[in-house]
Structure 1
Amino acid sequence: MPELPEVEALRIFLDGRLTGREIDRVLPLAVSVLKTYDPPLTALHGAAVTGVARHGKFLDIEAGPLHLITHLARAGWLRWQDAFPAAPPRPGKGPLALRTVLIGGDGFDLTEAGSTKRLSVHLVHDPAEVPGIARLGPDPLDDSFDRDALAALLARDNRRVKGALRDQSLIAGIGNAYSDEILHAAKMSPYKLTTSLTDDEITLLHTALRTTLRDAVVRSGGLAAGQLKAEKRSAMRVHGRTGEACPVCGDTIREVSFSDSSLQYCPTCQTGGRPLADRRLSRLLK
């Protein structure tokens, strides 16, 4: 799933290619992709793009008073096209979900792999009209997101720190992969309870969070959209690396599996050498 660093890189990529350009047409090609109907997508035809913004994991293409907002979900992606095939796309066939063509013939496709379709597109007058954006927490790369801001968020309730980092209503933009990376950098168990964190641990977590995300944004800067997935995978130290050696201590990276996701961690770096129970609905170690 694209997370904050990849979506920010896509924002920069699109901003340089869309701003000041006019939209020729926007074609929804999957039944499930478009979540709004008023205004219609035809309202974008002939409109000039005025900028591209990001809200957590949401991309926002601004065209005057309108906002074309996309959430790529787990299996969605954006593919830039310098030119499109002469034959029009066939709705409902393959991974193609939506096509945006600029005057001049270039543009981008939104695609989604797999049978579970969660990619979403909204056309609205105000980003806050999108439910997922309306409930977002603060952006962790904003200047106001300091150590004390993180401490206040973590103190709201007693929960496992892995889940807190992934909660979009608490902190916007962090998903499964970067929460693993942040916790590894902070040398913290994913199951440590938020209310048990000491002042020093909160400071360490805040530093790891900001550094991990900022470094990922820098690495992604200037890359074409098609290169971002590979860059993300190559930079992961523990996420997606079950069975490999930890790059910090050399211990074997372990995994805990759940019904629809998994997490990776280093026992030596994060849990005092203890493996976490790897069975669904188990009592989680602190």
Structure 2
Amino acid sequence: MPEMPEVESLRQFLTQRCVGHAIAQVDLAAISALKTYDPPFAALQGLVVDGVHRYGKFLALDCGGLWLVFHLARAGWLRWREELPTTPPRPGRGPLALRVTLDDRSGFELTEAGTQRKLAVHVVTDPQQVAHIATLGPDPLDDDFTPEVLGAILAKAGRAQLKGILRDQRLIAGIGNAYSDEILHTARLSPYQPANALAAEAVAALHATIRGELTEAIRRAEGLAAKDLKGEKKSGMKVHGRTGLPCPVCGDTVREVSFADSAMQYCPTCQTKGKPLADRRMSRLLK
């Protein structure tokens, strides 16, 4: 799933290529992706892109007061083309969900792999009309996201585990499964650490780690084309997606805990005082 660093990089990429251009054509190939009907998506045609904004993991194109907002979900991606086909795509065939053609025939396509269709497209007059944007927590790179704000979030969460807190978009916007693994590894914290058990110094250190990991990920992706962002994300990971490989910090073997629809990775030596965490999926199978 694209997370905040990749989405921010896509925002910068689209800003350079879309702002100042008019939308010549919008083609919807997957009806399930469109979550709004008024205004119609065809109303975007002819409007000039004034800016590209990010809200957590959402991207929003400001087209003169009408907004094209989309969320790539787990298996979605944005594919840029210098010249798009002139013939409309055939609905319901292949991974293509939406195509946006600019006035110079360049533009982008939103695609989604797999059988689940969770990519979401909205056409609204205000991004806050998108329910999930209206309920987003603070952006961890905003100046207003201070150690005190993080401390208040953790205190209110009580005994909830840090891994879940970092991934909850209603509490902190933009962090997902991959970067929560990386943040906790760098901070040397267990994913199961209760949120309210951190001392003030540990909260400050976690705050610095959150901002540092995300800022560095954005820096690594700076100037990359959209097609190269996935590979860069994977190459920059220390524990996420590296089950069975040595931890680059201590050399211990990176372990995994599997869940119904996801998995997390961690280093026992760096994060859990050498103790492997129980794999809940395997525990259920052994009962």
Q: TM-score range by the shorter chain?
A: over 0.9
**For residue 272 of structure 1, what is the aligned residue in structure 2?**
273
CA distance in 1, matches of 2:214, 2:145: 13
Q: Percent identity?
A: 60
Unmatched 5+ stretches in structure 2: none
Supply the distance in 2 between the matched residues of 1:210 and 1:87 (Cα, whole angstroms).
Answer: 44
After superposition, residues 121-160 of structure 1 pair within 5 angstroms as 121-158=121-158, 159-160=160-161
Gaps of 5+ in 1: none
Aligned counterparts, 1:23-102, within 5 A? 23-102=23-102
Alignment of 1:189-228 (within 5 A): 189-228=190-229
Partner of 1:9: 9
Aligned to 1:231: 232
| TM-score normalised over the length of structure 2 | 0.97
Q: Structure 2: which amino acid aligns with 1:247?
A: P
Given residue 21 of structure 1, which amino acid in structure 2 is its aligned partner? H
Name the aligned partner's letter for residue 188 of structure 1.
Answer: L
Q: 1:160-179 alignment to 2 at 5 Å?
A: 160-179=161-180
Q: Over the residues paired in the alignment, what is the CA RMSD in angstroms?
A: 1.2
Matched to 2:29, the amino acid is: L
Alpha-carbon distance between aligned partners in 2 of 1:65 and 1:185, rounded to the nearest angstrom: 41
Q: Deviations over 1:55-77 (max 9, x none)?
A: 00000000011110000000000
Output the CA distance in 2 between the equivalents of 1:132 and 1:222: 29
What corresponds to 1:18 in structure 2?
18
Bigger proportion of residues as helix: 2
> Structure 1 residues 192, 282: closer, same or farther in 2, change over 3 A?
farther
Q: Note the C-alpha offset of 1:199.
A: 1.4
Does the CA contact (< 8 Å) of 2:27 and 2:88 recur in 1? no
Is the 2:153–2:171 contact (alpha carbons within 8 Å) kept by the matching residues of 1? yes
> How has the CA–CA distance of structure 1 residues 281 and 134 changed in structure 2, closer, same or farther, with 3 Å as cutoff?
farther
Report how many residues are paired: 283
Q: CA deviation at 1:7?
A: 0.2
| Offset of residue 282 of structure 1 | 6.5
SS in 1 for 2:247: coil
Give, as a single letter, the amino acid of the residue that structure 2 aligns with 1:267: P
| Secondary structure at 1:204 match in 2 | helix
Secondary structure of the corresponding residue to residue 175 of structure 2: coil
Aligned to 1:180: 181
Give the match's secondary structure for 2:109.
strand
Residue 102 of structure 1 deviates from its aligned partner by 0.7
| Structure 1 position 86, deviation (Å) | 4.3
